[in-house]
Amino acid sequence: EFVTTCHGYYSIHLFSHVMGWGKRVIVISDIIGRHMIEDFGVDPGNIRLIPRSVDLERFPFRPRPTGRSSFTVVVIGRLTPLKGHPVFFEAMARVLREMPFVTVKVVGDAPPSKTHYKQSLLALVERMGITSRIQFLGNRKDIPQILSDSDVLVLPTVTHEAFGRVIIEAQAVGVPVVATKVGGVVDIIEDGQSGILVPPVDADAIATAVKRLLKDPALVDEMIVRARKRVEERYTLGRMVDSTLAVYKETLESKNILVMKLSAVGDVILATAAFRALREKFPTARIHLLVGREGAAVMQGCPYLDDVHIYDHKGKDRGLKGFLRLLKELRRYRFDMTIDLQNNDRTHLLSALIAPRASYGYKNRRSGMFLTRGIEDKGGPLAPVPHQFKVLEQIGIAYPQNARLELWPRKDDLRYARDLLHEAWIDEKTHVIVGVNISASERWPTKNWPMKLVAEFCDLLASDGIRVVVTGMEKDRPLQKELQRHLRSKPALMIGKTNLLQLSALIGFCRVYLSSDSAPLHVAASVGTPAIALFGPTDPRRHLPPGNVTLIQKKGRPCQPCYRTECREKDHPCMSGISSREVYQEVKRILKETTA
């Protein structure tokens, strides 16, 4: 782990890129921060702004003398074209025509390889006829004294200035500043308050600003007091040291963590207990989640995550080119660890190529070697959340006995769900509401409870005056038609009317919710609604979520769990063998207990 400090603009070449490789990248101004983000791909979350400083003991504030008959204007900086000396001399020529008692001091020299540039400036001053009023002082070490003897400092830079430390040195001493509005200069000077900003390459604007300051001592007195106060608040040597030490301490103590969970929405919901546990273990860490597009929508409002990255394997991340694009984006974050809750070849490979200090997950036969801290998936069947926590145990996180799932529906989601109920003449405050999920995913029709039994169940509840809400996705419209052929009652059919967060709000208004092994079951567990889970082809020991969930399963079938998406038997006995009355009686039991 290391920290880089960027003092200026870097040209984009191989060796410059190392400045963006730090776990934290210190920049001296906002403009340099944007430069590192846009040109070197640094994660904005890794940028730390620490401006340059001034030693107030070397640059003490000096009272401004009164009754002056002559003035000194100074420019301090290397003699290079970027510093704008020709424009400065043109401005001073205009000042001297009106105020010939002004002396101009030029501090700084040209590099040995560019002495010709200095000669060209001397020739320019001579052509302008102002040689007698211009003093070229060369490189000097007595900058505090030179500033103390000056009345105005001008910074005429014509290109982006990384910061402009001479500005805060002048402000510390009590010298008003005229500077071009470039780069980091705008971070230092509040125009008209702590200095005057002018457009670059504008000699007339510089001349006007300098004359204004020389002629208006009251303005200068107000300006230098405000500028000195701002320096004391923001740019002291002690503040810079303390801020720098804080960044190094943060670097040592903080973690940048990537969790990977690319599968179905229900599986992402099952990982919310792990997200919470990670945040509790690492309260100052930046925790990122790599997830599929549908899963990303569910994680809106999650307080445990700092960032969500979408792996769009059917769109922009498709194929090798898309995979490499994603990899490049993720590597920007310099992750300390990856936690692979997906545990497939693709995510194991990503863990290796991201190159964290440690990568955790379950080893599989082909790609487990890519994990630095992989564990074997040994032992018997384990519920999904405890199964995830076996991985987290490797970083000191034990499975909490009160583990629970969470979702974060917004006020708009709650309002939308309430409106759906009211449109169906259901009052969430006075009616007993039972929800029914009509279907699992398209891939798993074997998980579905037959529509004839769903209809019988709805009719039994309706005979007791219980309001039934049937939920499902748009793809479930054909099942809805089949259900309606069997129904005698009129439940509220809300298939295709909600997204997952709206569904979570709707389920939150239910007293009981019935579902097969699918995402809505996990939603019910996440919002605390008592749920009844119907299991057939899958193993509840591996898939039952934590929470107030009652399992109903037709046992005794030799083929269970088959994990087949097509049943070999025509009547689908593991699901059709669960009677509507059995489920109805379980609902009545739960209602009685919760009412009591």
For 120-136, what is each residue's pLDDT tens digit? 999 999 999 999 999 99
For 47-62, what is each residue's pLDDT tens digit? 999 999 999 999 999 9
For 353-378, what is each residue's pLDDT tens digit? 999 989 999 998 788 899 999 999 88
Place of tokens 């504030």: 61
Parent domain of 271? 254-395
Q: Is 264 helix (H, G, I), strand (E, B) or coil?
A: coil
pLDDT reported for residue 596? 62
**Lowest model confidence (mean pLDDT) among 424-438, 499-513, 568-582:** 568-582
**Lowest model confidence (mean pLDDT) among 422-426, 552-556, 579-583:** 552-556
- Domain for residue 263, yes or no? yes
Tokens standing for 513? 């919710």
Q: How many domains are there within the chain?
A: 4
First-to-last CA distance in the chain? 58
Residues 20 and 111 in one domain: no
Mean pLDDT value of segment 165-183? 96
The residue count for the chain: 596
Distances (CA, A) of 368 to 336, 339, 341, 375: 19, 13, 13, 9
Confidence of residue 516 (pLDDT cuts 50, 70, 90): very high
User: Which of 189, 208, 235 is the last residue in one of the domains?
Assistant: 235
Distances (CA, A) of 431 to 111, 329, 346, 402, 455: 85, 50, 48, 30, 20
Residues 259 and 390 in one domain: yes
- Domain for residue 403, yes or no? no
pLDDT reported for residue 567? 84
- Domain for residue 78, yes or no? yes
How many CB atoms are located within 10 Å of the residue 44 CB? 11
pLDDT reported for residue 365? 79
Mean pLDDT value of segment 247-258? 90
User: Which of 176, 207, 235 is the last residue in one of the domains?
Assistant: 235
Asked whether residue 300 carries a pLDDT value surpassing 90, the answer given is no
Say if residues 468 and 510 touch (Cβ distance below 8 Å): no
- Domain for residue 347, yes or no? yes
Residues 31 and 176 in one domain: no
Residues 83 and 167 in one domain: yes
CATH of the domain at 187: 3.40.50.2000
Residues 466 and 520 in one domain: yes
Residues 11 and 42 in one domain: yes
For 260-271, what is each residue's pLDDT tens digit? 999 889 999 999
- Give the orientation angle of helix 580-595 with respect to helix 451-463, to 10 degrees: 40
pLDDT reported for residue 466? 96
Say if residues 162 and 183 touch (Cβ distance below 8 Å): yes
- Domain for residue 64, yes or no? no
- Domain for residue 351, yes or no? yes
Residues 291 and 320 in one domain: yes
Residues 415 and 269 in one domain: no
DSSP per position, 280-348: HH-TTSEEEEEE-HHHHHHTTT-TT-SEEEE--TTTTT-HHHHHHHHHHHHHTT--SEEEESS-SHHHH
Residues 8 and 44 in one domain: yes
- Give the orientation angle of helix 519-527 with respect to helix 500-508, to 10 degrees: 50
Confidence of residue 481 (pLDDT cuts 50, 70, 90): very high
Residues 308 and 436 in one domain: no
CA distance linking residue 289 with residue 338, whole number of Å: 10
Say if residues 491 and 436 touch (Cβ distance below 8 Å): yes
CA distance linking residue 53 with residue 432, whole number of Å: 67
Asked whether residue 247 carries a pLDDT value surpassing 70, the answer given is yes
For 419-473, what is each residue's pLDDT tens digit? 999 999 999 999 999 999 999 888 888 999 999 999 999 999 999 999 999 999 9
Cβ-proximal residues to 201 (8 Å cutoff; 6+ apart), any chain: 84, 87, 158, 180
- Domain for residue 401, yes or no? no
CA distance linking residue 271 with residue 404, whole number of Å: 10
Asked whether residue 91 carries a pLDDT value surpassing 90, the answer given is yes
- Domain for residue 63, yes or no? no
pLDDT reported for residue 11? 87
pLDDT reported for residue 318? 87
CA distance linking residue 514 with residue 470, whole number of Å: 10
Residues 164 and 303 in one domain: no
Residues 360 and 425 in one domain: no
Distances (CA, A) of 401 to 266, 391, 404, 521: 21, 16, 9, 20
pLDDT reported for residue 595? 81
Mean pLDDT value of segment 279-291? 94
Tokens standing for 341? 């809750």
For 530-550, what is each residue's pLDDT tens digit? 999 999 999 999 999 999 999
User: Which of 395, 423, 446 is the last residue in one of the domains?
Assistant: 395
Percent of the chain clearing pLDDT 90 (strictly above)? 77
